[in-house]
Amino acid sequence: MTKRYGPDAAVEDLSLSVESGEIYGFLGPNGAGKSTTINLLMDYVRPTEGSIRVLGLDPRADVVDVHQRVGILPDGFSVYENRTARDHLRLVIDTKGTDDHPEALLERVGLAEAIDDDAGSYSRGMRQRLALAMALVGEPDLLILDEPFSGLDPHGVRTVREIAHEENERGATIFFSSHVLGQVELVCDRMGILHEGELVAEGTLEELRAEAPVTTELELVVDGDPERARRAASGVSGVVDASVAMAGAPSSDESSSVEAGPPSADVDGEPTPSATTATAPAADTVVVRLESTDRREDVIAAVEEAGVAIRRADLEEPSVESIFVAQTEEAADGGELR
């Protein structure tokens, strides 16, 4: 689907499927089109082109059914200042015609003790908890959560995560957008990254890691000649660079680079006093940067074949955050591997 506001597309030719029973994370920088997509799903706005199905229904023709079966926590939810949490829930319960109890719902989101206080007196986090309770009314088949972590303290963040899992266990499909990428990693089965209205990456975390234009760092602690290990590793396809960690060096950034010649040289190939004093034999760690996680086994095999035993191999996998940054920056400037 495409949604234009005047000449500008908020969402451009977006094709996206979320499977029943999935927890799907919808990620993207500010203004990427996440809320517009959610508004389209709920028929709050209509597509300029294309079509949408929600639970097999057309949100435009079947809007009542869609709203009945979907629970939504909208971005920028605002409360009725002079109404209590109980009133807010009653409103949704009556509209949906369900037999939920406001107390039980508020208990789930940790707001039971404030049930009869005016929502106008609530903090931002309390308002967000109330919005989540409202989304849970009627055991929806699909739960759409737009930035559910916003304004929440760590307990609240955990509550959202637990509720997402509980609802999913019950059979609900969960579709949520978030900037809190560490949480996305903990909750989602699959995720899509939106950039300027277009989907630039999609998959499970493993798939995104394998495809992302971002490097993974493999640290090998070796029994044997680290320089020999470095040379073997650097010959493996998919290795961006390999370096021998200098004694006392905190990270690979300070170590000698693969193109730089022997470990006693700096990046220009010139020996430096500190490098000279810090050269192996103390160093027994080789840091290898990989294009993707799946190159790991080849590197280990190459080093072992070169006759260097590996005591430990630690892989530092890219976080959702680094994947997100790399994918959205690449989309912005046709970027390079970083």
Ligand X SMILES: Nc1ncnc2c1ncn2[C@@H]1O[C@H](COP(=O)(O)OP(=O)(O)OP(=O)(O)O)[C@@H](O)[C@H]1O
Q: Footprint of ligand X on this chain (CB under 6 A)?
A: 5, 10, 28, 30-36, 75
CB 171 within 8 A of CB 202: no
**Beta carbon of residue 242, minimum distance to ligand X (angstroms, whole number):** 39
Q: Tokens 């707001």 appear where?
A: 111
**Beta carbon of residue 216, minimum distance to ligand X (angstroms, whole number):** 28
Question: Cβ closer to ligand X: 90 or 179?
Answer: 179
- Amino acid 205 reads L
- Amino acid 8 reads D
Question: Cβ closer to ligand X: 31 or 307?
Answer: 31
Return the closest-CA partner of residue 301 out of 240, 244, 243, 236.
236
Question: Cβ closer to ligand X: 34 or 129?
Answer: 34
**Beta carbon of residue 28, minimum distance to ligand X (angstroms, whole number):** 5
Question: Cβ closer to ligand X: 308 or 323?
Answer: 323
CB 26 within 8 A of CB 181: no
CA 135 to chain CA centroid, Å, is 22
**Beta carbon of residue 140, minimum distance to ligand X (angstroms, whole number):** 21
Which are the contacts of 61, defined by CB distance < 8 A and separation ≥ 6?
none
- Distance, CA of 144 to CA of 174 (rounded, Å): 6
| CA angle (100, 101, 105) in 5-degree steps | 90
Concatenated DSSP letters of 244-283? EPPTT--SGGGSPPGGG-STTB-TTS-B-HHHHHH-TTS-
**Beta carbon of residue 188, minimum distance to ligand X (angstroms, whole number):** 17
Task: For residue 151, give the DSSP letter.
Answer: T
- Distance, CA of 137 to CA of 77 (rounded, Å): 16
C-beta neighbour count of 309 within 10 angstroms? 10
**Beta carbon of residue 177, minimum distance to ligand X (angstroms, whole number):** 7
**Residue 47, helix vs strand vs coil:** coil
Question: How many angstroms separate the first and last alpha carbons of the chain?
Answer: 32
Return the closest-CA partner of residue 27 out of 166, 240, 185, 217.
185
Question: Cβ closer to ligand X: 29 or 110?
Answer: 29
Joined together, the tokens standing for residue 159 give: 């509550």
Joined together, the tokens standing for residue 309 give: 């035993």
Question: Cβ closer to ligand X: 33 or 192?
Answer: 33
Question: Cβ closer to ligand X: 195 or 230?
Answer: 195
Question: Cβ closer to ligand X: 31 or 269?
Answer: 31
Joined together, the tokens standing for residue 334 give: 């046709």
**Beta carbon of residue 290, minimum distance to ligand X (angstroms, whole number):** 31
**Beta carbon of residue 145, minimum distance to ligand X (angstroms, whole number):** 13
Question: Cβ closer to ligand X: 30 or 82?
Answer: 30
**Beta carbon of residue 41, minimum distance to ligand X (angstroms, whole number):** 12
